[in-house]
Amino acid sequence: MEDPDLPPSAKLVLKVLEYEGPLTQQEITEETRLPQRTVRDALDRLLEEGIVTKEPYFRDARQSQYAIADAALPERDQSASQESDWAGR
């Protein structure tokens, strides 16, 4: 799933979303300890690539919640099974 052309910050944001589930930009900033602008740029890149989705955050309408796109999930699951196959050899 990881695009080799993604910057390290976008890869980190993607990993956090993978482990933590849907988060707001502020929550991602806190988890990654990256500057807010860096997180915003990483999210913009992930949105452009279709890897992440942006939804309204119902607890606070001023924020959005980001999650890994459903279209990106099967690819991730497939690569995970390939990794486990490789590890079993």
3-state secondary structure 10-62: HHHHHHHHHHHCCEEHHHHHHHHCCCHHHHHHHHHHHHHCCCEEEEECCCCCC
Evaluate if residue 47 carries a pLDDT over 50: yes
| pLDDT at position 88 | 54
| pLDDT at position 87 | 53
Are the C-beta atoms of 39 and 27 separated by less than 8 Å? Answer: no
- Average pLDDT of the chain, as a whole number: 86
Average pLDDT over residues 30-44: 98
Domains defined for the chain, CATH in brackets: 8-87 (1.10.10.10)
Banded pLDDT at 71 (limits 50, 70, 90): confident
